[in-house]
Structure 1
C-alpha cells in the first residue's frame, strides 16, 4: 500500500506539475504593452525617427521554430502608439547579417518566402477574433482575419499603411492601422489583445511575443494586452467602392449541326462588348455593426476556376472568389467553433450556406433544339449584409440577395424561342453566436430561406419553390485548462414544391430513394415537401503532444440543403476514433515527427456497413527542412456506396489497400517543390495511381514561377454505365444495372507566373492544359444484389456488338429478353484554360484590373489516348478570348 506521506508527496508533485502546465499555457500577468498617445504626425517610412520610438521597446521574443521556447536569435523591439485616428506599431528588427535579409517583392497576400514581421490586433478583446497585418523588407503585404482562435483567413483586404527600411543594422517597419479597419465598441479605456511575430527566412526561424506551442491549438486567446488607449471614438465607418467594367468577348462559333442549314450562329457573332457599372457600400451602424450593400454588384471572378473532369454523380464544390461574399465570411461559418483540430475521415459537412448558390448558372435548360444563347450566370439585382457584435461575446450576421429571372434564347432554323430557365429568387441567411465564460462555452444558430417565384409551369417540376434550414451549434471546454473540448451541431431542413419536383428530388443522386431492397427508403409520389435532419459531434484534445479526436455524425435521408447550401449525399452515418503522438523537439535526424492511427466506420440508415477503414499516418521533418508524410489504409469489405449503382440495388465492395505519400523540400532554396503520390489496389481488380509534382522557382526578387504536371491512371472493374428497365430481370428488381471496366488516363499541368513590379503593381498568369480519356471494356450487368457478381455481355448466350458508337446488347441471345442499345461511353476530353491578370492599386483601396481569359475545349467520342495527337488537336482549335477592364475607386468620406 502507498503510505500517507508518499501519497501526500505525490499529490503535491502532481499539483505543482498542473500549476506549471497552466503557467506555460498562459502569458505571464506582467506582459502588457503600454500604448503611447502622440500628437505630432508619424511619418510612415520605416525610419523610426519619431520620439515615440526612442524609449525601450518590448523585446522578449521567443522562438516557435526551429527551437521552441528558446530566445530569438536576433533582437527585436516593438512599440505601440496611437492618436485620434489610428493605431501605430513600430518594430526594429536587428540583424547581425544584414546582407542575408530576404525581401522579395510580391503581390498582396502572396507568400513571398521572405523575412517578415506581423502584427495581430484583437480590438474586440473577445480572445477569438482578430485582424493581422504582415510586411516583408521589400514592402510586400499580407493581411487577414483570425476566427475561432486559430483560423486564419487572408480574404479580408484592409486599407492601411506600412513603411519599411533596410540598413546596416537590420530593418524596420512602421504600421499605421486606421480605427476604421478595426471593429470595437466604445469604451472609456480600451484593452486590446496584441501579438507580434518575426520570421528570419534563412534560418526558418519564427519568434513571437507570446509563444503558442506547436502542441497547442490556441492563438488569439493567449495574446498579451495593449493598455493605455483612451479618449478615442469608434469612427463612423463609411466606405464607398463604385466600379466600372468593360469586356470584349471574341467567341468561336459552335460545331455544325443539322439545324444550322449552313447559317452562322446568330447569337455568337464573334464579338460582344458588355459594359457594367455599380457600387458597393460599407456603412458602420450603431456600435460594432456594419452594413455591406451592393447596387448592381459585379460578381464576376477575376480568377477562373480550375478545369475538372467530374466522373461522379455529385455536383462539384468550387471555392468562393467573389469579394462581397468572402469578406467577413468567418461570421457565417457554422458548426466548427471551439475545437481547432477537427478531422473528418470521409465525412463532409452539409453546408447550410454556400455563397456560390447566389448568382449560380441557370438550373433549367431550354426544350427546343437549335442555336442557343444561355447566360453563364444569374444576374444579382442586389445584395446586402449586416454583421457585427451585440456585445463583446455576442456576434451576428445576416445576408440577403435577390437574383433576376433569366431566359435562354433558341434559334431553330430561323424560328426564335425564348424560355425561362431561372426564376426570380430571394435568398436570406441569418447567423448568431453567443459565447460564455471567456469562450469556454458557446451556442449559435443559423437559418436560411430561399423563395422562388415559379411562374413557368415547367420550372415547377425542376425546382423547389421554397426551402429553409435551421441549425444550432456550439461547444463546451470540459476542463479549466481548455485541453478537452466537445464541439457539435444539429440542424433540420425543409423543402417544398410540386409532386413532380419532389419525385425528382427523391430520386436525385443526393438521396436515391428508389434504391430497390432499401427497406428504410421509399419514393412518395404524393409528397409536396420533405423534412430531414443532420448532426455531428466531436470530442477533441487541443493541447499537448498526445492527439485525440473522435466524432460521430449522421445525415438523415430526407435532409436537403442544396438550395442555399451544399451537400452531396444523405442517408449517411460516419464515426471515427483518431489518436497519436507528435514530437516537436529535434531528435536524431528529425526536427519534428509524429505517428497517428484511425478507425473509421460508415453506415446508412438501414444499418448496412458501407465503409470501414483502418489508417496509419507517419510524418516528419528532417533537420535539413525536408519533410515527408505517409498514409496507409486498409479498407475492409463492405457494401458499396449508393453512388456505385446510381441508386440500384446494394452491391458488395471487396477489400482494398491504399496509400498516400508527400515529400517536400526546403522552401528556403531558390528552387523547391513537393512530390505527391496516391495509389490503391483491391481484390475487386480496382487500382489507381496518381502522381503530381509541384515546383516553385524563385527566379528573382520580383519573379516566381510555380506549377507542375499531374498524371492519373485508374482501372475500375465496375464503373456504372446505364440502367435498362426489363421486367425479366427479376433478380435485380426489374432493371439491368450495366457496368463496364473503366480505364481512365488523365494528364494535366498547372503553371502560375507571378511577376510583381512593386507591392501595388503585379502581373499573374495561370495556365492549365488537361487531357483526359475514358475507355470502357467488359460491358456487363450486376448478376444479383448484395454480391460483386456480374454477367458479362458477349459470353454465354448473350451478345454484344458495337456499331457507330452504339452498343447493341441482347442479354440472353435467343431467349425472351429484348435487346437494347446503349451509347458507347468512351470519350476523349481536352481543354486549355489561361487567365492573365494585371493589377494596379493606384490609390489605397482603389484598383484597376486588366484581365485576359483564353479557353478552348475539344471533345471526341473516342477513348484513345495519344499525347502527341491530343496536344496537336488541342492547340489547333481556335480559342474563345475574353478581355476585361475593371476599375474601382475607394471613397472614405
Structure 2
C-alpha cells in the first residue's frame, strides 16, 4: 500500500557487533601432536595411539533449555595435529542411543537432527571462526563466523569426517586440513575453540565454554586451544575446471527463420583458489556458470523501486561478508542499503532492443544476463587484526542478434564492457571490542556507442565505518559515513536526477533542481546509533540515518531512495529465563520521524511488536504499526508531493516445533488506511519428513488489496501536467513447493517450483488536482463517465475534458494479469571431495494479459496453456588439489 514504511527495528542487534570479553572463559585444552610416522584413520573409532594420550575437554554447559546447567548427557572431546591437519574426536554419550536423531540431507542443510560442531578461531581475534558440523548420519555443514556474532553459511572447504553410533552414544571424528584455515605464521599458536552438541529430542544445546544469553557476542566467548607448535606454511592451490553441455527447448524458439525448437548450449570455465600465505587467499573465476542456482521467486512490484534479491551465486556468496558495508539499520527496507550489492555484477543487460525492432518481422535473440569474463578476490586477516578484501570483476560487451525475415542478421550492443572494483579494510582494536574500517568501490563502463549513452560511465563510492562496545560490552556505538560520485553523458545524468531515488524534477522542491547540462552527481550518506544491547531485561537504542539528494550507489551498491533524514528510538524488554509457561519472549517499541532535505516532515510513526517461545517450542509473534499523516515525495513519480492519510498495519504468526516429522507456520497481515485503502494477506508453510532422507515442503500464500489512489501514468498535454491515479483492486496467489531426497550425504535430488499469479483491475480514474489537500476528495478530481471512455480496439482510455467530442489525451489500459512458473530440478553428486556432477532441468513459463480479473482455476489454466521454456544441462567440475 501507500504507507511509506520508513523504519522497523524489531531487533536492533542486527548491527555487526565487535568485541571480546577478557574474562569470558578461562577453559583450555591441549592439542596432542602426532608422533613421526603416526597416522589417523577417519573412521569414528578412537583406536589410534594419539587418542589414548590426548587430554580430554569436558564440562559442557547448557544454553538451552536449562541455561547454565550441566548437559544432561556427557560430552568429551580431544584434539590432535600433524604438519598438515588438525583432528578432533568428540564423544557424545547418550543414555538412550536408540533415540539419537540421524537425518540424512544434502550437505549444508540444517535439520532437526542431533549435531556436533567444532568452531576454530584460528586468527585468535575473538571475532572470526571457521566452523565444522556433522550429524550422526554423516551430513556435513560448514560456515564462517565473522564480526563475533554474524555468520556466512556459504563457505565450502574440503574436510573429512566419520561418525559412528553404538550402545553408549555416538562419535564424530574430524580431519580438517590446515590449508582450509587462516592463521598467522608464528611458531607457537593459541587459537580460540568452541565445541557444541545439540540433542534434538531434548532441544538441548551444550557448549564447552558457556556464556549467558544476556551477554552479547559469540566467538569472543570461546575457550583456548594450546599446544600447537611449528605448523609449516601451507601450500594452498585448488583448481576447479568445469565443462557443461545442454539445450534450450521451447516451441517459441521455432520460427520461419529458426525452424528448430531447440538451441544447443556448451561452455567451459574454471575456478581457482590460491593460498598466498597462511592467512590470505586469492579466489578467481573465469567464465563462471551458475546454471544450478535456484531461480528468484515471483514478485509483484507496482512501485517505481527496484526489487532487492539475495545473492545465490557461489563465488559471490562465499566470503561476501568481508565486503559488506551497510548504511542501513534494523530489519525494515532500509536494512538493504549498502555500498556493495554483488548482483550488479553479471546483471541483466540494460538496453532492450525490442523497443526498436518488431518481433513480428524479425527474430530477436538477446542474453538474459551479462557474461562475467573474469572475477577475482583477495581476502584474509593479518595477525595484527587487519582484515583485507579486494575484488575485481570484468563483464563483457553483450549484443542482441536481430535476424530479419530475409535471413540477414545484425548485432546491436545492449551492455558495454564493464569493470567492477571493491577494496575493503577493517582494523580491530581493544581485543576486538572496537573496529574501524573503510571501503572504496569503482565501476567503469567502456561506452563506445551512442545507443548506450543513457548509462553512467563512471561511478565511485567510498566510506568509513566504526563500531565500539564499552561498559562491559553492554553498550555500543555504530557509525558509518559514505560519499558517492557518478559521471556520464548529459542524458545519463539527467536520468539519474529524474530517477525514483530522488526526483529532482519535482515542481514543489525548491532545494533541488533538474540541471540538464550536468555530467556528474555527488552526495553523501551516513548513520549513527547508540544503544544498550546486553545486560538485564532492558535494551534500547537511539540514532539516525541520512542520505543527501545527490547520493547514488546503484552502479555497484543498492539503495531505494535518498533525500531523507530519519531519527529513530528503540526500546525492548527481553526475558531469557524460562517459566512454567514460556521459554523466552521479547517486546519491542519503535518510534521514528523522517524529513527530507527541504526540512519538510515526511512521516512520523511507530510500532509495538513481540515474540514468545512456549515450553512446547511453539512460537507466536505479532505486532501493530501506526503511520501518521504526512507527505509522499515519490507517489507522483516526479510530480509534486502528495498528502497521505494515517494508516495502520497489523501482523501475527505462529510456528510449530521443527523437531517433529510434520511442522509448519502461518502468518497473517492486515493493512487499513483512512483513505479507504486496505489489504489482507496470509501465508502457510507445511513441512513433512516421512523418512529420515526425504522432505517435502509446501508454502501457499494469498493476498487481496484495495488501493484507492494507485499510480497509473503522467501525461504532459499542452504544457499541462496530468497525474492520473485510480482505484486498484489486486490479488496475488502463489505456491512454493520443494522436495529434497538424499540418497547419501554426497548424492541428492532437489526439486523446487512456484506458480505465481497476480491480477489488478483499475477503476475510478482520477486526476490529482490539489496534491496537499487534507481531505481525500479535495485532493483528486474523479473523471465522469462522459469524460472517460475505453477504446477496446486500441486498448486505450480516452479523456475528453470538456465533453466536446474531442479527445484531449489517452493512456494505455493499466489492467494486468501476470502469470509465472519457475521450476528447478537438480541432481547433485559429489563424486570426489570438491568434485561435483550436476544434472539440471529448469523450466520457465510467462504469460500476460490485461483483463484484470482474478479467477484461480482460469488463471492456472491460462498459465500452463503457454509454451514452457526448458533448459537441460549437465555440468561436471573436478578438483585439482595441488
What TM-score results when the alignment is normalised by the length of structure 1? Answer: 0.92
1:37 aligns with 2:33: yes
Residues of 1 paired with 2:405 and 2:602: CA distance? 51
CA distance in 2, matches of 1:100, 1:356: 44
- 5 Å matches for 1:704-783? 704-727=695-718, 734-783=720-769
Measure, in 1, the Cα distance between the counterparts of 2:851 and 2:215: 54
Q: Which moved more, 1:305-314 or 1:75-84?
A: 305-314
The within-5 A match list for 1:462-501 is 462-479=454-471, 481-501=472-492
Look up the match of 2:334: 347
Cα deviation, residue 377, structure 1: 1.1
TM superposition shift of 1:272? 1.3
Please say if residues 292 and 826 of structure 2, whose CA atoms lie closer than 8 Å, have aligned partners that are also in contact: no
How much does 1:549 deviate?
Answer: 2.4
Partner in structure 2 of residue 17 of structure 1? none
Equivalent in the alignment of 2:843: 854
Give the distance between the partners of 1:455 and 1:798, measured in 2 at CA. Answer: 48
In structure 2, which of residues 796, 799, 803 is the aligned counterpart of residue 813 of structure 1?
803
Q: SS of the residue aligned with 2:876? A: strand
Distance 2:772 2:787 in 1: 23
C-alpha spacing 1:268/1:403, structure 2 compared with 1 (3 Å):
farther
Partner of 2:423: 430
C-alpha distance 245-268 of structure 1, shift in aligned 2 (>3 A) = farther
Q: Mean Cα displacement is larger for which, 102-111 or 608-617?
A: 608-617
User: Partner residue of 1:13?
Assistant: none
- Residues 551-572 of structure 1: per-residue CA shift (max 9 Å, x gap): 2011111111111112111112
Identify the residue that residue 180 of structure 1 maps to in structure 2: 179
Partner of 2:412: 419
Q: Is the 8 A contact 1:369 1:410 kept in 2?
A: no
Q: How does 1:475-554 map to 2 (within 5 A)?
A: 475-479=467-471, 481-544=472-535, 545-554=537-546
Q: Secondary structure at the match of 1:391?
A: coil
SS in 2 for 1:870: helix
- Cα drift, residue 212 of structure 1: 3.2
CA contact (8 A) 1:212 1:218 kept: no
How far apart, in 2, do the equivalents of 1:811 and 1:330 lie?
57
Partner SS, residue 54 of structure 1: helix
Question: Offset of 1:126 from its aligned partner?
Answer: 0.9
Specify the alignment match of 1:59 in structure 2: 58
1:363 to 342, 350, 353: 350
Deviations 1:90-149, CA, capped at 9 Å, x for gaps: 110011111111001010111121001111001111110111101100001110100110
1:610 Cα deviation (Å)? 2.0
> How far 1:303 sits from its partner (Å)?
1.8
Does residue 838 of structure 2 align to residue 845 of structure 1? no
Corresponding residue number in structure 2 for 1:27: 24
Do the aligned partners of residues 551 and 252 (structure 1) sit closer, same or farther apart at CA in structure 2, a change above 3 Å counting?
Answer: farther
SS at 2:625 equivalent: strand
Q: Is the deviation greater in 769-778 or in 279-288?
A: 279-288
Report what 1:100 is aligned to.
99
Deviation of residue 153 (structure 1)? 1.3
- Indicate the SS of the match to 2:863: helix
| Of 304, 311, 324, the match for 1:313 | 304
Counterpart in 1 of 2:11? Answer: none
2:386 aligned with 1:394 = yes
Aligned-partner Cα distance in 2 for 1:356–1:672: 33
Which stretch shows the higher mean deviation, 833-842 or 286-295?
Answer: 286-295
Partner SS state of residue 69, structure 1: coil
- 1:590 equivalent to 2:576? Answer no
For 2:370 and 2:332, locate their aligned partners in 1 and report how far apart those are by CA, in whole Å.
Answer: 35
Distance 1:726 1:350, change over 3 A: same
The SS at the match of 1:645 is coil
Cα deviations across residues 582-629 of structure 1 (Å, max 9, x unaligned)? Answer: 111122411112212110222211122222212111211111111101
Separation in structure 1 between the aligned mates of residue 104 and residue 146 of structure 2, nearest angstrom:
28
The higher relative CO (CA closer than 8 Å, separation ≥ 6) is in 2
Q: Would you say the 8 A contact 2:326–2:338 is kept in 1?
A: no
Q: 1:265 to 1:291 in 2, by over 3 A?
A: farther
Paired residue for 1:557?
549
Kept after mapping to 1: 8 A contact 2:25/2:209: no
CA distance in 1, matches of 2:673, 2:143: 45
CA separation in 2, counterparts of 1:265 and 1:384? 43
The match for 2:7 is none
1:670 corresponding residue in structure 2:
661
Counterpart check, 1:618 vs 2:618: no
Whether the 8 Å CA contact 1:360–1:378 is kept in 2: the answer is yes
Evaluate the alpha carbon distance shift between residue 106 and residue 443 of structure 1 in structure 2; reply closer, same or farther with a 3 A threshold: same
Measure how far apart 1:216 and its partner are: 2.6
* Cα gap change, 1:330 to 1:693, in 2 (>3 Å): same
Number of the residue aligned with 2:568: 576
Could you list the runs of 5+ residues in structure 2 that have no partner in the other structure?
Answer: 1-18
Residues 390/200 of structure 1: CA separation in 2 closer, same or farther (3 Å cut): closer
Distance 1:807 1:390 in 2: 66
Q: In the superposition, relative to structure 1, how do residues 390 and 93 fare at CA in structure 2: closer, same or farther (>3 Å)?
A: closer
2:370 is aligned with 1:384: no
Find the residue that maps to 1:285 and give its secondary structure. Answer: strand
Q: Contact conserved, 2:462 with 2:483, CA < 8 A, in 1?
A: yes
Structure 1 residue 391: Cα displacement? 3.4
1:848: Cα distance to partner? 0.6
1:11 aligned residue: none
Superposition map of 1:869-880 within 5 A: 869-880=858-869
- What's the TM-score, normalizing by structure 2? 0.94
Report the counterpart of residue 831 of structure 1 in structure 2: 820
1:564 match: secondary structure: coil
Structure-2 change in CA distance of 1:346 and 1:243 (3 Å): closer
Q: Cα–Cα, structure 1 residues 24 and 360, in superposed 2: closer, same or farther, change >3 Å?
A: closer
Does structure 2 retain, via aligned residues, the 8 Å contact 1:123–1:184?
yes
Q: How many Å separate the matches in 1 of 2:327 and 2:204? A: 30
The structure 1 segments of at least 4 consecutive aligned residues displaced by more than 6 Å after TM superposition are 22-25
Task: Give the 3-state SS of the residue equivalent to 2:50 in structure 1.
Answer: helix
CA distance in 1: counterparts of 2:740 and 2:754, whole angstroms: 15
Asked if the contact 2:327/2:337 (under 8 Å) is kept, the reply is: no
1:265 offset after TM fit, Å? 5.6
Shift of 1:727: 4.8
- Using the TM superposition, name which of 295-304 and 226-235 deviates more: 295-304
3-state DSSP of counterpart to 1:612: strand
Secondary structure in structure 1 of the residue aligned to 2:491: helix
**SS of aligned partner of 1:324:** helix
Mapped partners of 1:852, 1:112: distance in 2:
26
**Cα distance between partner residues in 1 of 2:350 and 2:293:** 23
Identify if the C-alpha distance between structure 1 residues 23 and 41 changes in structure 2 by more than 3 Å, giving closer, same or farther: closer
Partners of 1:853 and 1:357 lie apart in 2 by 23
Cα distance 1:216–1:188, how it changes in 2: closer, same or farther (>3 A)?
A: same
Shift of 1:24: 9.8
Q: CA–CA distance in 2 between the matches of 1:57 and 1:181?
A: 24
Which range is displaced more, 690-699 or 573-582? 573-582
Distance 2:553 2:842 in 1: 33
CA distance, structure 2, for counterparts of residue 478 and residue 74 of structure 1: 37
1:803 matched to 2:792? The reply is yes
Q: Aligned residue for 1:249?
A: 248
SS in 2 for 1:155: coil
Label 1:199 to 1:745 Cα distance change in 2 as closer, same or farther (>3 A): same
User: Aligned with 1:644: secondary structure?
Assistant: coil
The unaligned stretches of length 5 or more in structure 1 are 1-21, 255-262, 729-733
- 1:740 counterpart SS class: strand
Three-state SS of the structure 2 residue aligned to 1:506 is helix
Maintained 8 Å contact 1:124/1:392 = no
| CA distance in 1: counterparts of 2:600 and 2:259, whole angstroms | 52
Root-mean-square deviation (Å):
2.0
Alignment pair present for 1:207 and 2:194 = no
